[in-house]
Structure 1
Amino acid sequence: MMISEKTRAAIERYKGKPGDELLRIEGIRKEFPGVVALDDVRFSLRRGTVHALMGENGAGKSTLMKIIAGIYTPNKGEIFLRGEKVRLNGPLDALERGIAMIHQELALMPFMTVAENIWIRREPINRMGIINHAEMARKTQELFDRLNIRIDPLSEVRFLTVAQRQMVEIAKAVSYESDVLIMDEPTSALTETEVEHLFEIIRDLKTRGIGIVYITHKMNELFEIADEFSVFRDGKYVGTHASSEVTRDDIIRMMVGREITDMFPKEEAEITDTILSVEGLTLEGTFHDISFDLRKGEILGLAGLVGSGRSNVAEALFGVTPATSGRVRIDGQEVRIASPADAMKHGMAFLTEDRKDTGCFLPLSILENMQIAMLQEKNVRMGFVEQGEVSRQCEEMREALRVKTPNMQERIENLSGGNQQKVLIARWLLTKPRILILDEPTRGIDVGAKAEIHRLISRLAGEGVAVIMISSELPEVLGMSDRIMVMHEGHMTGILNRNEADQVKIMELAAR
């Protein structure tokens, strides 16, 4: 589907007028069963600018963007596009009107090529009425050249990294020639180099008069790329400011309504006996000769660029993709972990980095998602789950982690990304693990929830839990870890103690 001729004409009329109002919403209200997601919200986007949306998880940012993208219909309020009042009758209608959205949870089709994903429903047809794959590949390459993206148009999406898939999503959105582009957490899986590449693309789009709505939880991105920002809290509009007029602390106070005095509340825990020993762990073609010890009460940070093999090591330890060689000892005894069930029997838990594809069971309820890992023998009698006791424990965990939901029967797909993450953390804490592996535990989490999760991790370490924490955010690794193991291209390049580590040393090891 291409932009309609009426929309194309409207876009042409607005060219050469940077600063003109592209989009305005007034008095928007959106209700879900038992929840008011947005209440009397307003927002405005100007041509040729980046307008960042800030707020805690559940503040209503993604809900508002889904209304603008035609996914949700508001219960009340008005939308004005290029000065005209409009009613958006679905995502395709929004696309036809020149509004494109890059979702936080990527939605590409893994067994199709990059080119097929980008031009789906808009494939070039030859005179015989057959899809012209050569022309489709040529158009994709032309688009990639313009955006300086180095991906083979004929590659199947399933073979791409998360970062490469993100770039494909961006290229797909740009291909619609829209003048309103919504980006929901576009850098959550990108390295610093890839983030800078994305920012170059955004700056180029700005010069073409495109207005960009940018949702992020990363303060440094706001000050680097956004012209202005709006803050939402608990479904309400708080305020709009130029990014040059405020400080990071000002924004945090607007977002959470309180001071966040310590983002990394690392407490000194007693580090005792070695609980996990890894020697020569190898997965052919992925990582090689990984050796380290992990002690009770220790937080071991795992750092490295995307593609370094960090997540693969975590998956091998938990039996998702068993290692081809090497030894793993728990409490001094050699063990064989061939599946997640084996790992769980030894007191291990693993929070995956991709909550959508490998974490959440999206059609199921919060309760079902939370309890699924704890349904073992102690909670089952005569073949039946002791549902009352299980539900009680899940409810206590929901309250402890402050998961925002009307009830435990709500489908998890209806929660914000941050609240989904809290449910997954709750799932594994309910198993009372001795070894906890966290892969990007605060990805897509707002600043307030990050501090809560950091505090929780620190408390678990204080209780003697051994933690492996993988993170792409160096301040998080440095702030929370007792030691930091760095990887590069499948090899361990060094281990740094907390008192000797800094960003420069980590990057030197990560880029060897």
Structure 2
Amino acid sequence: MANFLELQGISKRFGGVVALRDVDLSLAAGEVHCLVGENGSGKSTLIKIISGVLAPEPGGRIVIEGREYPHLDPVHSTACGIQVIYQDLSLFPNLTVAENISIASHLGRPQVVNWKRLRATAAAAMARIGASLDPDERVEDLSIANRQLVAICRAMAADAKLVIMDEPTASLSRHEVDALIRLVADLKRHGICIVFVSHRLDEVMEIAERVTVLRDGAKVGEFPAREMDDKKLATLMTGKSFAYKTSLTDSTTADVVLSVSHLTRTGQYEDVSLDIRAGEIVGLTGLLGSGRTEFALSLFGMNRPTSGEIRLNGKPLALKTNAQAIEEGIAYVSEDRLNLGLVLEQPISSNILVTVLDKLTNGIGLVPEQTRQATAQHWIKELAIKAPNADNAVRTLSGGNQQRVVLAKWMATAPKLLILDSPTVGVDIAAKDGIYEVVRALAAKGVAILLISDEIPEVFYHSHRVLVMRGGKLVGERVPHESSEEELQAMVDA
């Protein structure tokens, strides 16, 4: 099959920092090609060069359908049929589905909107990928999975020949991931090239024909996906080997920190009872809509239950607000760290201290600079956050370090119970390993931890017990060292 795009000898420097070093890449029409690497490996820089946002250093070659370009700009890249779907999707939440899909045809000079043509363009794009969405619904009211469909339809409306999907599964459940993989296979059949960027390595092997691995700005190699597994890829990406074992720790004699009895919120979850002991990591998994997050939010005072009881260290709680939950010693790390966990434009130090500002103020209601710096530095060191300056905006950090900032923010409150909702979403393999180390260290200090994830390996290898939720009910429990991943997956899918 003929190559749609060829990159030869592509390099990029930012001052004295080499972001890409002599990278070659070829993409064939109608293939699924995965691009993998740790944060900082050069993936984003390469994508920006392909999409025309950045120009490479002189000497590299960009060839699209046989025509050579010294560099691209976004207009030329789009005209060549290149579309990028970023992790944040870059949609207009206040506009409708049809308006978002057809937006490209209305950019540029002012013009009167032809609403009939706009809706026809959107309908044709949705029909092309088999999407069934209400064209008049506002995008802000859609699920993450349906927003992603809108972004893909927008690419189809722009006559895409190459679609780059940057972390497309980061916020999706396993069921939604399966639907996306089917959609990508359909785009392939229509001759569209897909570049799939993902930290979830099991998906890479499932969907790709070829895999290109980057490390420290250089190309490690290009490999047939059928010859790869997640362990080989992780080693190629990092130069290290990762091997996890199930925990043999027995927490049954430790004090019960959280006790939930017959907790129900009508329409969301029903009759949930569980205990979590000091130093115990309890995994909670299940498909989308199983009630996991709704239950967790009730424990954090943001989703009041209809009936049942919550006890923390034996004390009954009637939580009405998250502020009350925090005061009682409950911390919650949301799966959406970018929108709910961090203030991206604010300094790293401010994000860490936001939960304990009232405890750091002096007699006139101000936080002394020395206290602010000392407290922030303590948590930066404690959680090994790679930050050259605590006053830098938190958006300047990698995904793994951003997640460590979120953990630091909550650890500063000295929680008794820590709820982690998909804590490694969008984080590369090495950063995941670092987060798991932090979680294990917290448990070793006696913190009770509820680890929520739809990634079976995550809960299987990093929990002492795993609970399965389906249809709003707890339907089973497994102790990992007495079970298997396959058995746990079967229970989730039953």
Identity, % of aligned positions: 36
- Among candidates 307, 314, 320, match of residue 332 of structure 1: 314
The residue type paired with residue 24 of structure 1 is L
Consecutive unaligned residues of structure 2, counting only runs of 5 or more, are: none
Equivalence for 2:68: 84
CA distance in 1: counterparts of 2:315 and 2:291, whole angstroms: 26
Aligned residues: 488
C-alpha displacement at 1:300, in angstroms? Answer: 1.2
Residue 432 of structure 1 corresponds to 414
Residues 62, 384 of structure 1: alpha-carbon distance in 2 compared, 3 angstrom cutoff: same
Which residue of 2 is the match for residue 279 of structure 1?
Answer: 261
Whole-angstrom CA distance in 2 between matches of 1:269 and 1:72: 53
- Write the distance in 2 (CA, Å) between the matches of 1:59 and 1:404: 16
Q: Determine helix, strand or coil for the equivalent of 2:89.
A: coil
Q: Deviations over 1:417-458 (max 9, x none)?
A: 333222222222232221110010111111122222222212
In structure 1, the residue matched to 2:370 is: 388
Within the alignment, does 1:454 sit opposite 2:436 as a pair?
yes
Q: Paired residue for 2:6?
A: 23
**Secondary structure of the equivalent of 1:222?**
helix
Distance across 2 between alignment mates of 1:86 and 1:153: 40
**Of 335-344 and 135-144, the range deviating more from structure 2:** 135-144
Deviates more, 1:243-252 or 1:336-345: 243-252
CA contact (8 A) 2:41 2:217 kept: yes
Q: Which amino acid aligns with 2:91?
A: L
- Answer whether contact 2:283 2:466 (CA < 8 A) is retained: yes
C-alpha distance in structure 2 between counterparts of 1:312 and 1:69, whole Å: 39
Structure 2 vs 1, CA of residues 415 and 75 (structure 1 numbering), >3 Å: closer, same or farther?
A: farther
Q: 1:415 aligns to what?
A: 397
Alpha-carbon spacing, 1:215–1:318, altered in 2? closer, same or farther (3 Å): same
Distance 1:207 1:509 in 2: 33
Aligned position for 1:465: 447
SS at match of 2:357: coil
Amino acid of the residue matched to residue 185 of structure 2?
Answer: R
**Cα contact 2:456–2:489 (8 A) shared by 1:** no
Q: TM-score, normalised by structure 1?
A: 0.86
Find the counterpart in structure 1 of residue 94 from structure 2: 111
Give the aligned CA root-mean-square deviation in angstroms. 2.9
Q: Give the letter for the 1:343 counterpart.
A: A
1:151 equivalent among 116, 122, 133: 133
Give 1:137 deviation, angstroms. 4.3
Instruction: Evaluate the alpha carbon distance shift between residue 179 and residue 121 of structure 1 in structure 2; reply closer, same or farther with a 3 A threshold.
Output: closer
In the alignment, is the contact (CA less than 8 A) between 1:373 and 1:427 conserved in 2?
A: yes
1:52 aligns with 2:55: no
Q: How far apart are the structure 1 equivalents of 2:305 and 2:76?
A: 48
Q: Is the 8 A contact 1:319 1:343 kept in 2?
A: yes
Q: 2:213 aligns with which of 231, 234, 256?
A: 231
What's the TM-score, normalizing by structure 2? 0.89
* 2:335 alignment partner, one of 345, 349, 353: 353
Q: Cα offset for 1:102?
A: 1.1
C-alpha distance in 2 between matches for 1:387 and 1:333: 37
Aligned match for 2:295, one of 284, 291, 313? 313
Long gaps (5+) in structure 1: 1-17
Question: Does structure 2 retain, via aligned residues, the 8 Å contact 1:59–1:232?
Answer: yes
Residue 13 of structure 1 is matched in structure 2 by none
Task: Give the C-alpha shift of residue 467 in structure 1.
Answer: 0.4
User: Any conservation in 2 of the 1:487–1:509 contact (CA below 8 Å)?
Assistant: no
**1:65 is the counterpart of 2:47:** yes
User: Is the partner of 2:332 in helix, strand or coil?
Assistant: strand
Inter-CA distance 269–122: structure 2 relative to 1 (3 Å threshold)? farther
Q: Secondary structure at the match of 1:80?
A: strand
